[in-house]
Amino acid sequence: MAKAMKRWRPPGAAIIGVLALLAANCAPPLHEARAKDTPMTSPLPPAPPWSSEHLPDHPLAGRIYQPGSGRFISPSALIAALGRADMVLLGEKHDNADHHRLQDWVLGALIAKGRRPAVAFEMFTADKAPVIAAHLAKDPKDAAGLGPALGWSKTGWPDWRHYEPIAQAALDSGLPLIAANLPRPLVREIAREGLGALSSALRARLGLDRPVDRRIADAMATEIVDAHCGMLAREKTGRFVDIQRARDAHMARSLADAAAGGPDGAVLITGGGHARTDRGVPMHLATMAPGRTVAVLAMIEVTSGENAPEPYAGRYGAKRLPFDFVWFTARHDISDPCEKFLEQMQKLKKKS
């Protein structure tokens, strides 16, 4: 029987007491924090100021919450905790530039702490690995040119300038970049045929040859319906669930392989939904990387009137936020996402 993976857990009572004294259970906002809590190889760099204009003065904006202990902690305590994990997942909301800035800040702090992890990206698909390798063979530190080499403007991801600093930090320290996501041609095949479109060898490698827990599949289906603003019938979510599972499993496999191939683990840059600890990439890592510790930090935008962490769990259909740590941020946009979705659908209907 496979040995159970050592998921990262909140520190024991004695350590929590120390962290409580350091953070005083009311750590200052991100922009006021300084490196006073944990000795580092080099000083903890100043955190970036908000670029998002909405709710920057919200009571939670800039604070770091640990759902397992129910405490707020300081940035230095966060970096100390992430630095103890073999694999670190940094969950973002893709269109919030501050989330990418925080990912860059965390990676830089881990490097300053002496870590040298491989850096994997959800945004890089595995079939693009040769393109990345060829580009970096010409100029090993050219993150600026990597986006154009990948045809970034046609991928649908936010502008490359948001991810470029993260890639540059990795390249400047000689860290490998990992193309973690499932190739798009395979995604299209799954959309048509389900997981049966994958070879039996690949399904086994990704752990997709085993039946999914019905409760997890149902929860994923609900999440997909909600993401489509109720305009997708639940009975049509099956292929979407297959795609989500396949992407999560492929990213987990990429992360586990990267961590196994080097002495200093791996970091994954991904969307918050893929990073949740009750399913997604961490669930697959539990069987793919036994004995390896995992820590998840998610960046979550604040909402007006929700001034305590607990209500935010409802966004994820959970009783408790499904992450090891949450960094609350200002909002990029306060418009209704479903209104935007409806507008996009109407434009598509006019074109068809």
Report whether pLDDT(213) > 60: yes
Tokens 């919450």 sit on residue: 65
- 264, 198 Cβ separation under 8 angstroms: no
pLDDT at 352: 60
- CA dist 163 to 88, 167, 253, 269, Å? 17, 6, 22, 9
User: Is 60 exceeded by the pLDDT of residue 3?
Assistant: no
Residue 230 above 70 pLDDT? yes
pLDDT class of 16 with cuts at 50, 70, 90 = very low
DSSP state of 145: T
Q: Give pLDDT, residue 342.
A: 81
Mean pLDDT of 123-130: 98
Secondary structure of residue 58 in the 3-state scheme: coil
pLDDT digits over 62-111, tens only? 999 999 999 999 999 999 999 999 999 999 999 999 999 999 999 999 99
Q: Per-residue pLDDT for 29 more than 90?
A: no
pLDDT of residue 262: 78
| pLDDT-above-90 percentage for the chain | 80
pLDDT per residue over 170-186, tens digit each?
A: 999 999 999 999 999 99
Residue 41 has pLDDT above 70, yes or no: no
What is this structure's pTM?
0.86
Weakest mean pLDDT among 61-75, 190-204, 239-253, 335-349: 335-349
Q: Per residue in 314-340, pLDDT tens? A: 999 999 999 999 999 999 999 988 988
Measured in Å, how far apart are the chain's first and last C-alpha atoms? Answer: 53
283 pLDDT exceeds 70? yes
**Position 25 pLDDT exceeds 50:** no
Q: Is the pLDDT of residue 343 over 90?
A: no
What's the one-letter identity of residue 197? Answer: A
Tally of CB atoms within 10 A around 131? 16
Work out the average pLDDT over 182-198.
Answer: 97
**What does pLDDT average to over the chain?**
88
Phi, psi of 36 (to 5 degrees): -125, -10
Decide: helix, strand or coil at residue 74.
Answer: coil
Higher pLDDT, 342 or 184: 184
Q: Comparing C-alpha atoms, which of 93, 99, 107, 157 is closest to residue 128?
A: 157
Give Cα 208 distance to the centre of its chain.
21
> What 3-state class would DSSP assign to 136?
helix
Give me the pLDDT at residue 13, please.
33
Rounded to whole angstroms, the Cα distance separating 218 from 222 reads 6
Q: Which domains does the chain have, with CATH numbers?
A: 27-146+165-332 (3.40.50.11550)
